Amino acid sequence: MQLKSVRALGIASLLILGVSCTAAQEANNNTPETTVTASPTETSANPAGDTVKEDSKSMVISEGNFIQVDADHPTEGMAKILDIDGQKYLEFNNDFSTVDGPDVLVVLHRDRTVPVKIEEADYVTLEALQTITGEQRYLIPDTINPEDFGSVAVWCRRFNVTFGYVDLAMN
């Protein structure tokens, strides 16, 4: 007799628990979703074109449109250098596009124009190109002063070919 009571109590508990879980799921499904994004100071570079939007503490230092250098490597769009809370970033806009290639890098070049082939002493590498299209952001380390450079370029290290560049005459 006691076994039947324990079994009935157990079944009743499972049924009550199941109803509670279902009610909790329904309540969660009716709750609006919240999306959390990283603040600009938490983002160094954003793969796959995820770009943190400018906020009230950002300032455009320089900007310009890409100039194609090599006919076989069309590159277009816009780039700008931003200062966000004292940290510098290079950002390509949503219209940015170039072609794929091996070992394609984003570099800061000392001159305002960039030739097809560049010399090692004339540039610093920010990092590998994140994606060939769309918005993307690159951290400019504190050890690099953007004012020491006249342009930013998309460049293939393997074949020493500049795809395109932006004259970054400082505002």
Residue-level pLDDT at 74:
97
**Has this prediction a pTM greater than 0.75?**
no
A 10 A CB-CB count for 99 gives: 15
Cα torsion 156, 157, 162, 165 to 10°: value is 90
Residue 151's Cβ-count burial label (10 Å; 0-12, 13-18, 19+) is: buried
Distance between CA 167 and CA 35 in Å, rounded? 36
Cα torsion 125, 131, 137, 143 to 10°: value is -10
pLDDT by residue for the chain (171 residues), tens only, comes to 554 544 444 444 433 434 333 333 343 334 333 223 232 333 334 443 444 454 558 899 999 999 999 999 999 999 999 999 999 999 999 999 999 999 999 999 999 999 999 999 999 999 999 999 999 999 999 999 999 999 999 999 999 999 999 999 865
Q: Does residue 73 sit in helix, strand or coil?
A: coil
Distance between CA 121 and CA 110 in Å, rounded? 9
Q: In sequence order, what are the residues at sequence separation of 6 or more whose Cβ sits closer than 8 angstroms to the Cβ of residue 159?
A: 101, 102
Residue-level pLDDT at 53:
53
Residue-level pLDDT at 70:
93
Distance between CA 89 and CA 80 in Å, rounded? 8
**Which one, of 144, 145, 42, lies nearest residue 85 by Cα?**
42
